[in-house]
Amino acid sequence: MMKNILLKSLLFCIVLLECLSCNYLDIVPDNMATIDYAFRNRTACEKYLYTCYSYRPRHGDFSLDPAIA
């Protein structure tokens, strides 16, 4: 009997905490760039494109290739 009450109260607390935590995580910070901001004008679009390509590895560059160094 006591185990059943404890289990139900624990389950109720878990469900309650699960429902309360949803709205807290949906907030987007003000200083975060969005995809709409990236395509507002030509220069912003070029910056977005160049940063996408900047993370690619440079396989032909001898100074940055770890296999050669």
pLDDT tens digits along 4-44:
899 999 999 888 877 776 666 667 677 777 788 888 899 98
Distance of CA 20 to the CA centre of its chain: 21
Q: Which residues of 40-60 are buried (b: 16+ CB within 10 A; e: fewer)?
A: eeeeeeeeeeeeeeeeeeeee
pTM: 0.40
Decide: 38 and 45 in contact? Cβ < 8 Å.
Answer: yes
At 36-53, the pLDDT tens digits run 888 889 998 998 888 888
Residues 6+ apart with CB under 8 A from 48: 38, 39
CA dihedral over 23, 25, 29, 34, signed as positive or negative: negative
For the chain, domain boundaries = 29-55
